[in-house]
A and B are shown apart, each in its own frame.
Chain A
Amino acid sequence: MIDVVVLFFLLGLLAGLARSELKLPAALYDSLSVFLMMAIGLKGGEGLAKQALAPLLPQLGMVILLGILLTLLAFALLITVGRLNRPDAAATAAHYGSVSVATFAVGVNWLMTRNIDFEPQMAVFLTIMEVPAIMVGIILARGISKQTEWGQLSHEAFLGKGVTLLLGGMAIGWAAGPEGLAPIKNVFFDGFKGALALFLLEMGLIVSRQTSELKKRGVFLLVFGLGMPLLSAVIGLGCGMMMNLSIGGLTLLATLAASASYIAVPAAIRLAVPEANPGLSLASVLGVTFPFNILVGIPLYHWLATQFTGGLFA
Chain B
Amino acid sequence: MTLITEKRTLLTVITEAALEPTLLRELDRMGVKGYTVSDARGRGNRGVRDAAWDEAANIRLEVICSRQMAETVLSEWQMRYYRNYAMVAFLSEIEILRPEKF
Residues on A lying within 8 angstroms of B by beta carbon are 23, 26, 29, 202, 205-206, 209, 212, 262-263, 266-267, 270-271, 274-275, 278-279, 282
Chain B, residue nearest A202 (CB): B53
Given contacts A274-B84, A274-B85, contact A26 B51 (CB under 8 A): yes
- Residue contact B22 to A26, C-beta cutoff 8 Å: no
- Residue contact B85 to A205, C-beta cutoff 8 Å: no
Complex CA–CA separation, A127 to B31 (angstroms): 38
Contact residues in B for A29 (Cβ distance below 8 Å): 52-53
Given contacts A212-B47, A275-B84, contact A206 B18 (CB under 8 A): no
30 A–B contacts from the bound complex (CB under 8 Å) = A23-B52, A26-B52, A26-B53, A26-B57, A29-B52, A29-B53, A202-B53, A205-B52, A206-B52, A206-B53, A209-B52, A209-B56, A212-B47, A262-B55, A263-B54, A266-B55, A267-B18, A267-B54, A270-B16, A270-B18, A271-B18, A271-B19, A271-B22, A274-B81, A274-B83, A275-B83, A275-B84, A278-B55, A279-B47, A282-B55
Residues on B lying within 8 angstroms of A by beta carbon are 16, 18-19, 22, 47, 51-57, 81, 83-85
Complex CA–CA separation, A278 to B49 (angstroms): 13
Complex CA–CA separation, A267 to B53 (angstroms): 12
Complex CA–CA separation, A110 to B76 (angstroms): 51
A189–chain B nearest beta-carbon distance, Å = 26
Q: Which of A26, A202, A282 has the most CB of B within 10 A?
A: A26
Count A/B pairs, Cβ under 8 Å. Answer: 34
Overall SS of chain B's interface: mixed
Complex CA–CA separation, A270 to B56 (angstroms): 12
Contact residues in B for A212 (Cβ distance below 8 Å): 47
Complex CA–CA separation, A270 to B51 (angstroms): 16
Contact residues in B for A206 (Cβ distance below 8 Å): 52-53
Chain B, residue nearest A23 (CB): B52
Contact residues in A for B81 (Cβ distance below 8 Å): 274
Contact residues in B for A275 (Cβ distance below 8 Å): 83-84
B44–chain A nearest beta-carbon distance, Å = 14
Complex CA–CA separation, A202 to B81 (angstroms): 31
Complex CA–CA separation, A282 to B47 (angstroms): 14
Complex CA–CA separation, A282 to B53 (angstroms): 13
Complex CA–CA separation, A202 to B53 (angstroms): 9
Contacts A267-B55, A271-B19 supplied; 13 other A-B pairs, CB < 8 Å:
A26-B51, A26-B52, A26-B57, A29-B52, A209-B52, A262-B55, A266-B55, A274-B84, A275-B83, A275-B84, A278-B55, A279-B47, A282-B55
